[in-house]
Amino acid sequence: MTIWAELARAGNHAGDEILLRKRDHIYEIRYNGLELMSNVNFQSETVLAERSLRLHGRQVSHMLIGGLGMGFTLRAALDLLGPDARVTVCELVPEIVDWNRAHIGHLAEHPLNDPRVDVRVADVMDVLRAEPGRYDTILMDTDNGPDFTVRAANGAIYEDDGLRLVKRALKPNGIAAFWSATISDPFEDKLDMLPWQWQREDISLIGGRADAFHYIYFVARGGFRSQFGRSLSASESFAAMVG
């Protein structure tokens, strides 16, 4: 078996270690020893963009993506957005942006080269806080989900204050989506307590395997304009949305 080859390594002031490695055709980004992203089974990252745009049901002029990863969500969004749309990508780790340019850009057809993309090396929470009412869609893919954050500070994204910031940054009919490696009952409870509709979609990674799923939580500030196939969980308690 071919061994893993290290392509690049980075650290930060908090002592975190981020690693980019390759084995045969497989690329992997690891954060403090845990897999954060790979180019295997990335279909849920594609669905994150595709379903959000479908659910929005209107022309999207400005999208925010929290977390660059390997660029698969960004690529899916660019393939569907119009020529005048803008996509702001927030990536906290500058080296991940560099790696997308130098090592792994080909995996998603070099999405950072698209003139519609604005990459910011910044905490997505700071961007949300500074830009109320700006985005049609907000896609959050910063961690392995609400229950498995790669850094403790990221947990705030999935708490009440973070969710309110997301809602505040959306336009009145905006859609937000949160990627997760697991079902999160605590996160669903929080969504139930907020004045918006939400749905969860379960994305099968390997047909027939009950343990091979990723999950996406979709929330709508003004209600869903269109529906998609299988939605296993929905909160209908707040039919009257806050505009």
> pLDDT digits over 79-117, tens only?
999 999 999 999 999 999 999 999 999 999 999 999 999
Token readout for 163 is 């969710």
Give the whole-angstrom CA distance, residue 189 versus residue 186. Answer: 5
Instruction: Quote the pLDDT of residue 104.
Output: 98
The whole-number pLDDT of residue 236 equals: 31
Q: What is the dotted CATH code of the domain comprising 41-235? A: 3.40.50.150
pLDDT score recorded for residue 204: 83
CB 17 within 8 A of CB 11: yes
pTM exceeds cut of 0.85: yes
Single-letter amino acid code for the residue at 136 = D
Q: Given this model, what pLDDT does residue 218 score?
A: 95
Token couple for 130: 């500074």
CA proximity to 74, closest of 55, 53, 92: 53
Question: Of 118-122, 203-207, 230-234, where does the model show the most confidence?
Answer: 118-122
Of 32, 102, 100, 34, residue with least CA distance to 72:
100
Show the beta-strand stretches assigned E in the chain.
Answer: 5-11, 17-23, 26-31, 34-38, 62-66, 86-90, 117-120, 135-140, 170-180, 197-204, 213-220, 233-235
- Could you identify the residue written with the tokens 């749905």? 199
DSSP type of residue 2: P
**What percent of the chain has pLDDT above 90?**
62
* Domain definitions of the chain by residue range: 41-235
